[in-house]
């Protein structure tokens, strides 16, 4: 890539585009992290509150 004929204006646009993409990726991962924490919380809640049926080896999960 060092040998490509790129002027300064094009290089600046490429850097701007890369920075914009990086910012969008950061926002996406922050949103996904929040969803992951919520999913773990729901799973933990269901694990702690599930009921066992008498005489059954199956578990019934509490509805959300």
Nearest to 42 by CA among 15, 59, 21, 63: 63
pLDDT at 20: 95
- For residues 29 and 37, what is the distance between their CA atoms, to the nearest angstrom? 12
- The pTM for the full model equals 0.51
pLDDT digits (tens, 9 = 90+) for 4-53: 899 999 999 999 999 999 999 999 988 888 888 888 888 998 888 887 66
């Amino acid at each position: 890539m060092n040998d490509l004929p790129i002027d300064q204006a094009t290089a600046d646009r490429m850097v701007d585009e890369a920075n914009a993409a990086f910012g969008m990726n950061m926002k996406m991962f922050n949103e996904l992290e929040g969803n992951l924490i919520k999913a773990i919380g729901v799973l933990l809640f269901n694990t702690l509150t599930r009921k066992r049926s008498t005489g059954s080896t199956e578990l019934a999960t509490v509805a959300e």
